[in-house]
Amino acid sequence: MAGYRELLVWQRAMELVPAAYAVARRLPAEERYALADQLRRAAISVPANVAEGQARQHRREFIQALMIARGSLAEVDTLLLISVRLGYASAERIRLAQALILSIRQMLERLIGYLRSKPPLRPSSSERKTDNG
């Protein structure tokens, strides 16, 4: 499999980070260590988990990391919607991030589905258990 930097889902998730940071920068000072910090952390978590999962040796670990990325993506979405509901951001201001979230969510779902549909890997000869022991 290609490195994580070649995965389109990772590339899109990297685009989400500055979009989320742009919203976080415009939040009021009293939200700097609450909503803004949580938004930044969740946004960073999406590409970080895709990268970490792809670097793991087992498909099951990759799928788990992609599921964590999906959860972080839902968190970013929710935090953006909260910022709108609290009057800190407009729907127009979060439009780019929302479009990226939709795209990333679809890519994560497809990648998870693809990885789950692949037949299990056969253990190498050194990993196979023998009848003798």
pLDDT at 57: 84
Which domains does the chain possess? 4-117 (1.20.1440.60)
How far is the C-alpha of 47 from the C-alpha of 16, rounded, in Å? 9
Q: Quick check: 28 and 79 in contact, CB under 8 A? A: no
Q: Quick check: 13 and 50 in contact, CB under 8 A? A: yes
The reported pTM is: 0.86
How far is the C-alpha of 69 from the C-alpha of 112, rounded, in Å? 11
Q: Quick check: 75 and 59 in contact, CB under 8 A? A: no
Q: What is the pLDDT along the chain (133 residues), one digit of tens a residue?
A: 569 999 999 999 999 999 999 999 999 999 988 999 999 999 999 999 999 999 998 999 999 999 999 999 999 999 999 999 999 999 999 999 999 999 999 999 999 999 999 887 665 544 444 444 4
